[in-house]
Structure 1
Amino acid sequence: MYTHFFNLTQPPFSIAPDPRYLFMSDRHREALAHLLFGVGSGGGFVLLTGEIGAGKTTVCRCFLEQVPEHCELGYIFNPRLSVEELLQSVCEEFHIALPASASVKGYVDAINRYLLDCHAQGKNNVLVIDEAQNLSAGVLEQLRLLTNLETSERKLLQVILIGQPELRTMLADPSLEQLAQRIIARYHLGSLSEDETGSYVSHRMAVAGASGAPAFPPALTPLIHRLSKGVPRRINLLCDRALLGAYVENTHQVTRAILRKAASEVFNDDEMPAPKRWAMLAGGVLAGAAISAAALQLMPVKQQAKPAAASAATKAAAPVPVAVPVGHESAEPAMRELAALWGQTLAAGEPCEAAQRQELRCHQGKGGLYELRQLDRPAVLTLRDGAATRHAVLVALDDDKATLSVGGAKHAVSIASLAARFDGSFTTFWRAPRAFRDYVPAGGQGADVDWIAAKLAQLERAAAPAQAQLFDVRMQERLRAFQAAQGLKPDGMAGPRTYMRLNQLGGVAEPRLLADRKEN
């Protein structure tokens, strides 16, 4: 309903597990590392728990994409099973021929033969059980017995249990002590921090195609975090309803009042004041949307078909995304590769210092893909590789894929794959004006103040100033108006992001990240 209003390609806060929206916080990466460690350790059980909506399924899906090729994988997502039904499910997941005699012993013998055959072929077997808090004590004990088959080096079946916090309570029961002792890795997935909540919202909006002034201003992050308790699914429900509320109220920016109304609608929290519901208003909007849809049917066929045809052509031309490349161990080679995009060869020494001698400045950020879309310039990304960090140059970005460059080799990767490795930190370049100062005092003069005045006049389609300018109250007000219009912090200070945007809108030649970006 609201996607066209906010110029989005799709709803950004759907609770469906769309891999394009994968967001890996530090906690999610650590949980993933525990799962991967468990697979490589040769142990019996790995335990991942977390609150409802904390992102356990997100981590699980990311894990399933990274399971080594020599591993055979079974996945059970509905574990309300009897012992016999569990064994049948295991046979079906691993494509084991079901025995003629339908008995627990027949199933166990078939599974054991299969595990021994796989071991002889150098293969491992991993059984993932989601919603494992629904397993009965008898089924858990049967799983333990299945893991009894082992060599001197490893278990022949590894089991990953994923469930809600009560699973930890179940496994603490003395009757399951033998199973608990076989858990080689445990991780409890907590909620997002306030900073991660802000990055999460920005990431999902960016993947959905948001640009310009943010619909969720950064000042709302503490309130979003408090209302949602940092739980990703609650964040999705809250922000989806808040966008609907902003749409109904015909504003392109969510306010604190809209956010509080949204929370009372979706969470029904007692401490929230009972607001006027949006249901009737939304119904009216839906009726209007239906009328608009009917009107669209009367538009010329070419006008309707053009976007679809363009979309199909874009999809057909898109390269197939591959795995995220490992990247450079040091940031220096990637920084030199980035400088080459600016037509510069950096001298020996620290890259940012070498770049400054060529009138380029470094800008470091930690805003993830959302901020990179806003900055619209190539950047060196910091990627996670287990406990290590790597570096690659992001040279292109669109709705569902990114292009990374490592040593000049280009790699098209999906946004989901990149988000799983990208920790949000990046470094980019920008071209500073002559006599640039990090801080311009009120009433100050100089070449950098004249440059700002000239760029603002160009954008305002006013005559260029003919004399030296003052960084006075009036110029600061003009600068604030420009910053607000561009989705920047309207502080009236000329910082790197303001200079970058003035450069872009002023036609300064520099590399861009979004090839199809059109300026207003």
Structure 2
Amino acid sequence: MYKAFYGLSDNPFSIAPNPHYLFLSDRHREALAHLTYGLGETGGFVLLTGEVGTGKTTVSRTLLNQLPDNTDTAFILNPSLTELELLATLCDELGIESGDSPTLKQLTDLLSSFLLANHEKCRNTVLIIDEAQHLRAEVLEQLRLLTNLETDTKKLLQVILIGQPELQQLLKRQELRQLAQRITARYHLLPLTEQEIALYVQHRLQVAGRHEPLFNRGAIKALHKHSGGIPRLINLLCERALMAGYAQSKVPIDAKMVRTASGEVLGEETKQTNYLWPAVAGLAVVTTFSGALYWFSQGGDGPVKQTSTAASEPTTQPITQQVTKSASNQQLSASQRVLQNAINASRDIDSAYASILGLWGKAPYVGLTACQSAQQQGLDCFQQQGNWHTIVKLNFPAVVYLQDDSGQPFYGTLVSRQGEQMLIQLNEQQLWVDRDWFNRHFSGTFELLWQSPNSNVTEIGRNASQAQLQWLENSLATIASKPPRLVSYFDQQLEQSLREFQRTHGLRADAIAGSQTLVQLNLYLSDQGPRLVENRGRY
């Protein structure tokens, strides 16, 4: 019911395993790499453990999608079986006819014949058991005996055991020591970090059609605290927080709404915090503006740069060291007032979006979100997590999500850059800020507008045309400031370059230039629209 309010086309935080919402953090990718290694030529048992809801099933399903075509797989979701029931289920999964009421020996012989026949046809056989902590010790031993069938170089049956941490304790039992020795790879999946939670939430919102962030930095911190980094709990908390935001007609979602959602979903009591606002506000003013003095006075040796959007040229008001102490204090107070007024006028993100649309010669439409307004005028939105270097390299004006020293959000538009300084627009006020000030106040989220190329290409992979592969090689080489090679097929060097680019930009390093990777590439290569530094040249 809240989808229209937030500009969503789907429910982004359903706990159903929808492959369209697949998000692989660095931990998930590492787990996937361990599983893939464990299923190498030698085979054997592979172990993946993790707490409930950390994404073990997501990793296993991703692995299934990446297995070669010559692989037969069996997936057992309910391992609370006897030895006979397990082998019968395995036969059913592999399509082996076992007849009525087969014995344990008959099932074992049928599976052995199937595995040998598969090996002769150069086919692999993989068994994946989820919730494997429920397996009985005698069932695990039966599996070990089944994997005794092997050639000189590999096991004919490869087994992936997926379960909660109790599975590790189960495999330490004395009667299972032989099986434990056959585990060729093991990985324990940890919960998401706070930074990964921000990327996770952003990813799911984008898939559901919302490019503007909905959860501010405080909300992300609260999600990390109350969910413990468990993706399933994150989904539940986000879902309930969005419902609360819809009921209150409030955007963005803040920490208080997440805490309330936690009380409703997890039964945690939300404590009402009593802040001594006068004292905190006074301390925040002193901290913020004593740190901002360098910004305005540049150490007392340079000019204060501040501009108004109504003026065509910046005005300069020098602060010299040849002033009395009283006059200096008065000047600092004036600087404080300018900054405080600019920040207070920038609590509404809509003014920042209006500013960036203006830099493109566009204007917001009544009744539409900023990104919808941009799309109606031939532009696309692109949201990303990053830092000063990320923004500088992309070289586009950007809406940036900021926080004052008391943790309250405000929003600005980066308009231009000169060396280590950025011209930032806070509502109707433009001010030059240095890199240190920006880093202390930047939340890590920014959004830019760009004009995507007129291309129907949505994916470039191994089977792409030579022209597409050459474009990919040229693009990656240009961004890396390297001379491009002439390529006729998707070779190993091109694959490594693409994976490195994807890892650098927080993308799924699958060596397939999908929609997100193509957007990121085209952002670097685009020559349309305003820039932070004009005529800087391409990467």
Partner of 2:427: none
Q: Which of 471, 474, 496 is the equivalent residue of 1:333?
A: 474
Alignment of structure 1 residues 373-452 onto 2, 5 Å:
389-391=499-501, 413=514, 428=524
Shift of residue 241, structure 1, vs aligned partner: 0.6
Separation in 2, partners of 1:26, 1:45:
23
Separation in 1, partners of 2:40, 2:191:
27
Separation in 2, partners of 1:48, 1:18:
21
Separation in 1, partners of 2:470, 2:34:
23
Partner of 1:152: 152
More relative contact order, 1 or 2 (CA 8 Å, 6+ apart): 1
Partner of 2:262: 263
Shift of residue 191, structure 1, vs aligned partner: 0.5
Separation in 2, partners of 1:330, 1:141:
53
Separation in 2, partners of 1:112, 1:226:
50
Does the 8 Å CA contact 2:460/2:469 hold for their aligned counterparts? no
Partner of 1:40: 40
SS at structure 2 position matched to 1:161? strand
Task: Percent identity, please.
Answer: 43
SS at structure 2 position matched to 1:69? coil
Alignment of structure 1 residues 114-129 onto 2, 5 Å:
114-129=114-129
SS at structure 2 position matched to 1:4? helix
> 1:178–1:328: structure 2 CA closer, same or farther, 3 Å change rule?
farther
Shift of residue 221, structure 1, vs aligned partner: 2.0
SS at structure 2 position matched to 1:46? strand
Aligned partner of 1:215: which letter?
Answer: L
Partner of 2:222: 223
Aligned partner of 1:173: which letter?
Answer: R
Write the deviation string for residues 158-193 of structure 1: whole angstroms up to 9, x where unpaired: 100011111111111111111101100000000111
Separation in 2, partners of 1:26, 1:252:
30
Aligned partner of 2:238: which letter?
Answer: C
Does the 8 Å CA contact 2:39/2:158 hold for their aligned counterparts? yes
Does the 8 Å CA contact 2:475/2:525 hold for their aligned counterparts? no
Partner of 1:206: 206
Aligned partner of 1:13: which letter?
Answer: F
Write the deviation string for residues 39-65 of structure 1: whole angstroms up to 9, x where unpaired: 223221000011111001111111110
Partner of 1:57: 57
Separation in 1, partners of 2:190, 2:182:
23
Partner of 1:234: 233
4+ residue runs over 3 A deviation: 270-274, 318-332, 335-339, 383-388, 411-415, 424-427, 429-433
Separation in 2, partners of 1:325, 1:265:
49
> 1:63–1:432: structure 2 CA closer, same or farther, 3 Å change rule?
closer
Aligned partner of 1:245: which letter?
Answer: A
> 1:157–1:335: structure 2 CA closer, same or farther, 3 Å change rule?
closer
Alignment of structure 1 residues 282-297 onto 2, 5 Å:
none
Shift of residue 96, structure 1, vs aligned partner: 1.1
Does the 8 Å CA contact 2:45/2:159 hold for their aligned counterparts? yes
Shift of residue 84, structure 1, vs aligned partner: 0.8
Does the 8 Å CA contact 1:331/1:391 hold for their aligned counterparts? no
SS at structure 2 position matched to 1:153? coil
Separation in 1, partners of 2:229, 2:463:
31
Does the 8 Å CA contact 1:194/1:221 hold for their aligned counterparts? yes
> 1:251–1:140: structure 2 CA closer, same or farther, 3 Å change rule?
same
> 1:26–1:219: structure 2 CA closer, same or farther, 3 Å change rule?
same
Partner of 1:88: 88
Shift of residue 122, structure 1, vs aligned partner: 1.2
> 1:387–1:34: structure 2 CA closer, same or farther, 3 Å change rule?
farther
TM-score w.r.t. length of structure 2: 0.56
Does the 8 Å CA contact 2:78/2:131 hold for their aligned counterparts? yes
The Cα RMSD (Å) is 4.2
Does the 8 Å CA contact 1:144/1:179 hold for their aligned counterparts? yes
Separation in 1, partners of 2:239, 2:463:
34
Write the deviation string for residues 215-249 of structure 1: whole angstroms up to 9, x where unpaired: 11234322221121111111111111110010011
Partner of 1:16: 16
Shift of residue 324, structure 1, vs aligned partner: 7.4
Separation in 2, partners of 1:161, 1:257:
40
Does the 8 Å CA contact 1:108/1:146 hold for their aligned counterparts? yes
SS at structure 1 position matched to 2:3? coil
Does the 8 Å CA contact 1:99/1:110 hold for their aligned counterparts? no
> 1:321–1:386: structure 2 CA closer, same or farther, 3 Å change rule?
closer
> 1:387–1:161: structure 2 CA closer, same or farther, 3 Å change rule?
farther
TM-score w.r.t. length of structure 1: 0.58
Separation in 1, partners of 2:181, 2:470:
38
Separation in 2, partners of 1:2, 1:110:
54
Separation in 1, partners of 2:497, 2:99:
45
Shift of residue 93, structure 1, vs aligned partner: 0.9
Aligned partner of 1:157: which letter?
Answer: L
Separation in 2, partners of 1:323, 1:330:
12
> 1:335–1:215: structure 2 CA closer, same or farther, 3 Å change rule?
same
Structure 2 gap ranges (5+): 274-455, 485-492, 503-507, 535-539
Separation in 2, partners of 1:48, 1:220:
31
Partner of 2:353: none
> 1:85–1:42: structure 2 CA closer, same or farther, 3 Å change rule?
same
Shift of residue 116, structure 1, vs aligned partner: 0.9
Separation in 2, partners of 1:9, 1:195:
25
Does the 8 Å CA contact 1:224/1:235 hold for their aligned counterparts? yes
Partner of 1:168: 168
> 1:133–1:255: structure 2 CA closer, same or farther, 3 Å change rule?
same
> 1:67–1:431: structure 2 CA closer, same or farther, 3 Å change rule?
closer
Separation in 2, partners of 1:272, 1:152:
64
Shift of residue 97, structure 1, vs aligned partner: 1.6
Shift of residue 35, structure 1, vs aligned partner: 1.3
Alignment of structure 1 residues 490-505 onto 2, 5 Å:
499=532
Partner of 1:190: 190
> 1:385–1:320: structure 2 CA closer, same or farther, 3 Å change rule?
closer
Write the deviation string for residues 447-470 of structure 1: whole angstroms up to 9, x where unpaired: xxxxxxxx9xxxxxxxxxxxxxxx
Partner of 1:476: none
Separation in 2, partners of 1:386, 1:103:
51
Separation in 2, partners of 1:329, 1:322:
11
- How many positions carry a matched residue from both structures? 339
Shift of residue 252, structure 1, vs aligned partner: 2.4
> 1:271–1:138: structure 2 CA closer, same or farther, 3 Å change rule?
farther
